[in-house]
């Protein structure tokens, strides 16, 4: 039984939550390479159409470049501050939203913040499972540090992109690289094992992920490439997070991964790092296209700008 609509959420959010859930898509895992490829192509095409529409309406320049051999998309809003840059990692359970289809949040954040954004088009399974994404993320971060002081660099990731941002920061620290000025992890997927109270509480309630027991769990296994899902290189909630930069964590009261966000917040605090947890009333995993999304970009901008010198 679905709960009542959240009284304190925006009218647009309540209207979205009132729609039927796409249960069938998320409760069934692809059973073959062909099924994975078909599902990925379908999701990417739908998102690419939406992003293309967004691109034509927003005053943000888009250039596709290679950084350290990795395809990246440089988004520059009008009047951007060229001294500061934010490296962004898109979501999509480590399988979805390659290319243009993964740039929706990057476009919106670049416009809202006035900051240049490097959106990393990292490699993904089925063709490139772990550790390809982490290798790409670290290579781009290392190259950006060659051109910018760490104090002028921010990191931002959503869902699987939040996982990738965290695993990249662990790898960068272990490689002796300077930490960025700050990081924002939006509804981050920190534990691929499927642990966390919210995964049971919000099963069939979160309209974005719906359930962990289907497509999402299968994507975790596909990405893992044979590693145990609790390996810190896959699930950074289990990693040593000491020495992390200040982190802002975004989630919502209906986010299937709410437990991942709150566990991360507590772990960062316990290990001596600065952490700001923002929990949005009535919001689901990776919520977008509602007024609350603009509130997130405003909070992100203030958090990052205050720490990027």
DSSP 98: -
What pLDDT does 1 receive? 77
Residue 176, phi-psi category: left (phi > 0), alpha (psi -120 to 50), beta (remainder): left
What pLDDT does 2 receive? 85
What pLDDT does 247 receive? 98
- Rounded to whole angstroms, the Cα distance separating 138 from 147 reads 15
Q: How far is CA 167 from CA 52, 200, 244, in A?
A: 30, 25, 11
* Residue appearing with tokens 């991942």: 260
- Rounded to whole angstroms, the Cα distance separating 15 from 23 reads 18
What pLDDT does 26 receive? 94
Cβ-Cβ contacts under 8 Å for 150 (sequence gap 6 or more): 177, 178, 179, 180, 181
Q: Is the separation of the CB atoms in 88 and 120 below 8 Å?
A: yes
Q: How far is CA 172 from CA 8, 65, 119, 165, 260, in A?
A: 40, 22, 18, 10, 22
What pLDDT does 82 receive? 84
What pLDDT does 16 receive? 97
Cβ-Cβ contacts under 8 Å for 285 (sequence gap 6 or more): 159, 187, 206, 208, 209, 252, 255, 256, 257
As a 3-state breakdown, the chain gives helix, strand, coil percent values, each rounded to 5, of 45, 15, 40
Cβ-Cβ contacts under 8 Å for 155 (sequence gap 6 or more): 86, 87, 88, 89, 141, 165, 168, 169, 180, 182, 183, 184, 245
Cβ-Cβ contacts under 8 Å for 210 (sequence gap 6 or more): 21, 22, 23, 25, 26, 27, 203, 204, 256
Q: pTM, whole model, 2 decimals?
A: 0.97
> pLDDT by residue (tens digit) across 20-66?
998 888 999 999 999 999 999 999 999 999 999 999 999 999 999 99
Residue range 14-307 forms a domain whose CATH class is: alpha beta
> Within the chain, which residues score under 70 in pLDDT?
none
What pLDDT does 20 receive? 93
């Amino acid at each position: 039984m679905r709960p009542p609509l959240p009284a304190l959420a925006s009218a647009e959010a309540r209207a979205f939550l009132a729609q039927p859930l796409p249960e069938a898509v998320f409760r069934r895992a692809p059973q073959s390479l062909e099924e994975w490829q078909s599902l990925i192509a379908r999701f990417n095409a739908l998102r690419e159409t939406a992003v293309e529409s967004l691109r034509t309406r927003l005053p943000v320049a888009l250039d596709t470049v290679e950084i350290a051999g990795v395809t990246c998309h440089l988004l520059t809003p009008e009047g951007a501050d060229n001294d500061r840059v934010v490296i962004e990692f898109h979501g999509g359970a480590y399988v979805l939203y390659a290319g243009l289809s993964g740039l929706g949040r990057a476009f919106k954040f670049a416009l809202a913040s006035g900051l240049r954004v490097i959106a990393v088009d990292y490699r993904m399974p089925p063709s490139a499972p772990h550790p390809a994404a982490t290798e790409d993320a670290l290579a781009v971060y290392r190259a950006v540090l060659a051109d910018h002081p760490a104090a002028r660099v921010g990191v931002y990731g959503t869902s699987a992109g939040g996982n990738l941002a965290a695993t990249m920061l662990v790898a960068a620290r272990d490689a002796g690289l300077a930490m960025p000025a700050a990081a924002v992890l939006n509804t981050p997927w920190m534990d691929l094992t499927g642990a966390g109270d919210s995964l049971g509480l919000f099963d069939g309630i979160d309209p974005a992920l719906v359930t962990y027991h289907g497509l999402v769990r299968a994507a975790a296994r596909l990405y893992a490439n044979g590693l145990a899902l609790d390996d810190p290189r896959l699930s950074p909630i289990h990693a040593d997070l000491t020495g992390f930069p200040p982190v802002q964590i975004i989630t919502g009261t209906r986010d299937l991964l709410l437990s991942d966000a709150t566990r991360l917040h507590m772990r960062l605090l316990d290990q001596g790092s600065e952490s700001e947890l923002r929990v949005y009333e009535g919001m689901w995993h990776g919520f977008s296209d509602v007024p609350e999304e603009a509130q997130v970009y405003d909070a992100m901008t203030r958090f990052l700008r205050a720490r990027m010198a």
